[in-house]
Structure formats: structure tokens, C-alpha cells
Structure 1
Amino acid sequence: MNKPQKGCNLEKCFLCSNTVPEWRETINLHKQNLKFKKGEVIFSEGQQVTGIYFVYSGTAKVHKKWGDDKELIIRFAADGTILGHRGLGSKMVYGVSATAIEPLVVCFVDIKFFEASLKTNSDLSYKLMVLFAEELDVSERKMRDLAHMPVKGRVAQALLSLEEQFGEDAAGYINLTLSRHDLAAFAASTYETVFRVIMDLIKENIVIVTGKQIRINDRQKLAGLTTGV
């Protein structure tokens, strides 16, 4: 990890875009820009909260321990996204981990300054409350899917979610290169099971795979797997 000099993206950054213009100069005085390599841990589940992170460029996975040796990827954080906010509360420990899945640059502010920002900027407090509500809804749906949706449906849902969040590249592939292990963790399954499901989807001409890149070839059929249609 090192400290590059980067300016804020006022349109995308969760912190800057939800604070009054006068507060942004104060942000510049308190922020640190940190750079992480692919695979480098930003913070770990159970660590004491030291501050909040905002993604400037690159992508991170937000994940949680699942059993003794497994992980469950809760979401992916891209440009402008906030990281570490789930550690807010009476215990002040990070409830999840965050790891860079590609070269990543983040803006970091210490927890005292972030709390001061919340008290000073009502829009920031409101948007954070909405974000917590949205994340709770996603978590509840993920738990429901884990209990009731077969693995093939969960893999299909994972691919559709990734395409919705990251879009497609010029060749039509999902614009995020993801390992099969990470795809399995996002679908709450195992590597071996996801590998078999992907092979089935290829045979059914629902997806096209080139290396680690995946292109959705038949969106209607893929979506049907998430509903049992």
C-alpha cells in the first residue's frame, strides 16, 4: 500500500457528492489517498474501526467469513463507493472484510472526521441511512436465495447482478474479470459446483466464456433460472 496523490470525483464520491461545497475543503485537509495492489486487504473482519474508505478507482470485494474456511462475498465496491461503514455502532469493529480484486485507489478519512461530517451534513447522514436500508434488503434477499434457490439459479443471479453493476465491455463481456473462486463466493457456493454450472450454461448456449471473461448470450433464459421459469 502506498499514498498516491489523487483528486476527488465530486460526482461519484459518496462523501464529496453528499456534503455542502464549503465542507469539501475540510475533506481535502483530512483525507489520505491510499493505493492497494490486487489481493491486498484493505481492512479485516473483527478489526477496530479506524476510519472510512471511498473507492476512487478499481474494484474491491466486501466479504465475510462463512464456516471455517469459506467466504461469502456480499457485494463489490467500485468507483465512488463507501467502504467500512458497517463498522459504525457501539462496538466499532469492522463486521466484514474488504480486499482489492484489481489495483485500487481509495480515499481514507479517520472515524472522528467522518462522524463530524455526518453531524455537519444532513444529506450525507440521510444518504447513509438509505444505503444501510438498501444493503439490509439485499442481505435479506441473499439469505432467502441461499435457503430456497438452487445453485444454478444463484449463479445466474450473480452473473446478472455483475452485468447490471459493471456493464459490458466492447466485446459484450461482463466488464469485470472475476476468478471462479470469487464467483463461487458471490453465489454462496463452492468452486467445483460453480465450475459445473458454468459448463452447463456454456453447453446450453446461455453464456460464452473466454478465459475468466463471461458474456451473457441469452439473458432471458439466464433470468428464467432465477425464477424457476
Structure 2
Amino acid sequence: MKLTKSKSCDYSCFMCRHVEQEWRNQIDNNKQVIKLKRGERFIEEGGAVRGVYFVQSGLVKVHRRWGDKEMIVRFAKNGAIVGHRGVGATQDDYPISATALEPTVLCFVDIAFFMSTLRFNTNFTYQLLLFFADELQVSEQKMSNMLRLPVKNRLAWSLVLLYKMFSTGDGDGYLGITLSKTDLAAYLGTTYESIYRVLVEFTETGLLRLEGKKIFLANMPALNVLALQKNP
């Protein structure tokens, strides 16, 4: 993991977008840039909270142990915040791990500076509160789906959600991120074999188109029906 001190920033991350403009100089003076290779882990579940990260480029998975398996909590793209789950009045350890899924550049600020940023930038604090609320709703829906829905409905719901989050809007149906079947299985809380079987079914019925690891949503209306189906 390569750390550098850098003042170059396009101010597009979650923190820079919502702080007061004059506070950006403070960010420039306190941040570190971290360059990661694919597969490098920069947060370890149970490790002491050091600070908060923002994705400048690349893709990150946020994950945690689930028995003897891995469960992916969320994916983070350009501009996204990572490590905020370790922030709290009595929180000392990260409850999650975070790993780069491709070459990734992060901006890191230590916890003391991050807490100061919250105190002196009310809009940033407000926007972070809304982000936490949205993230909690998605997490609760995911857990509900895992308990109630078969894999094909969970996959449809997850693909529609990821498309909304990551699609570039080109209209070609591309999901916007390239994920392995193993990562998809960990995101849904199921097995590789189940994901493989449902992907084949969705492809044969024209719901999806696969090009290598790239997933294209070929029939969004039908996927939405499956995603919203409550009693399959």
C-alpha cells in the first residue's frame, strides 16, 4: 500500500462536495493519497479505527465475516466514502473490512480531522446523516431479501440496485461495474453454484447478456418485476 502526500484533487468526493469551500484548504493539508493494487486490503475487520477513506478512482468492496464465509456489504466507486462505519462516540474498531477490486486511488484523513470536519461543516454532517439513513435502508432490505426470497429474485433486485448506482446512463444496459461470480455470491449471501445457475437461466431467457465478466441488463422491465416480487 503506497502512501503519498498530494495536493492534487478535483474535489469530487463525498466530503469535498459538501464541506464549505474554504475548508478544502484544510483537507489539502491533512489528507494522504493511497494507491492500491487489485486485491489489497486497506481496512481490516476488528482493526483499530484510524480514519476515513474516499475513493478517487477504482472500485472497493466493503465486506465482513459471516460465519466461515465472506459477506459483501456494499461496493464503493469514485467519490464514495469508506470506513465511516468505524465512526462513533464509543467505536474503537472497524466492524468491516475493505479491499480494492481493481487498481484504486484513495484519499485518507485521520479520525481526529474527520471529526473536526463534522463539527465545523453542518451541511457535510447533514448529508452524511442522509447517507447513513439510505445505506441503512438498503442494508435492511438486503437482509430481508436473504430471509424471504429465492436467489433469482435477490439477484434481480441486486442487479437493478447496482445498475442504478453504477450505470453511466449510456442506455446499453451495462451494469457499470465488473464483478466476479464469487463477489456476486458474497453480495447476495449465497453460493457460487447458485449464482452461476441463475445467471445461465437469466441469460437463456433474455434477461441478461454476458460479455466475459461484464453484465448487461437486457430486459429491465422483467428484472424489475422479479426484484419487486414479494411472494415468489
State the TM-score, normalized to the length of structure 2.
0.92
Q: Does 1:132 align with 2:132?
A: yes
The separation in 1 between residues aligned to 2:27 and 2:195, in whole angstroms, is: 43
Aligned residue identity for 1:160: V
Aligned residue identity for 2:72: I
Aligned residue identity for 2:201: D
SS in 1 for 2:134: helix
SS in 2 for 1:15: helix
Q: C-alpha displacement at 1:3, in angstroms? A: 3.2
The separation in 2 between residues aligned to 1:79 and 1:130, in whole angstroms, is: 19
Q: C-alpha displacement at 1:34, in angstroms? A: 0.5
SS in 1 for 2:216: strand
The residue aligned with 1:23 is 23
Aligned residue identity for 1:19: V
Q: C-alpha displacement at 1:175, in angstroms? A: 2.1
Task: Provide the aligned length of Structure 1 versus Structure 2.
Answer: 227
Q: How large is the Cα RMSD of the aligned pairs?
A: 1.6
The separation in 1 between residues aligned to 2:215 and 2:41, in whole angstroms, is: 26
The residue aligned with 2:152 is 152
The residue aligned with 2:98 is 98
The separation in 2 between residues aligned to 1:187 and 1:6, in whole angstroms, is: 39
The residue aligned with 1:83 is 82
Contact persistence 2:60–2:76 (CA under 8 A): yes
The residue aligned with 2:203 is 202
The separation in 1 between residues aligned to 2:216 and 2:202, in whole angstroms, is: 11
Runs of 4+ in 1 over 6 A off after TM superposition: none
The residue aligned with 2:179 is 178
Q: C-alpha displacement at 1:28, in angstroms? A: 0.7
SS in 2 for 1:34: strand
Q: C-alpha displacement at 1:146, in angstroms? A: 0.9
Contact persistence 1:9–1:80 (CA under 8 A): no
Contact persistence 1:14–1:82 (CA under 8 A): yes
Contact persistence 1:154–1:187 (CA under 8 A): yes
Contact persistence 2:156–2:227 (CA under 8 A): yes
Which of 166-175 and 138-147 deviates more? Answer: 166-175
Q: Aligned ranges for residues 6-85 of structure 1 at < 5 Å?
A: 7-10=8-11, 12-68=12-68, 70-85=69-84
Q: C-alpha displacement at 1:205, in angstroms? A: 1.3
The residue aligned with 1:143 is 143
Q: Would the alpha carbon gap of residues 106 and 6 (structure 1) be closer, same or farther in structure 2, given more than 3 Å must change?
A: farther
Q: Would the alpha carbon gap of residues 226 and 171 (structure 1) be closer, same or farther in structure 2, given more than 3 Å must change?
A: closer
SS in 2 for 1:224: helix
State the TM-score, normalized to the length of structure 1.
0.93
The separation in 1 between residues aligned to 2:171 and 2:154, in whole angstroms, is: 26
* Gapped regions of structure 2 (runs ≥ 5): none
The separation in 1 between residues aligned to 2:115 and 2:7, in whole angstroms, is: 23
Q: C-alpha displacement at 1:151, in angstroms? A: 0.7
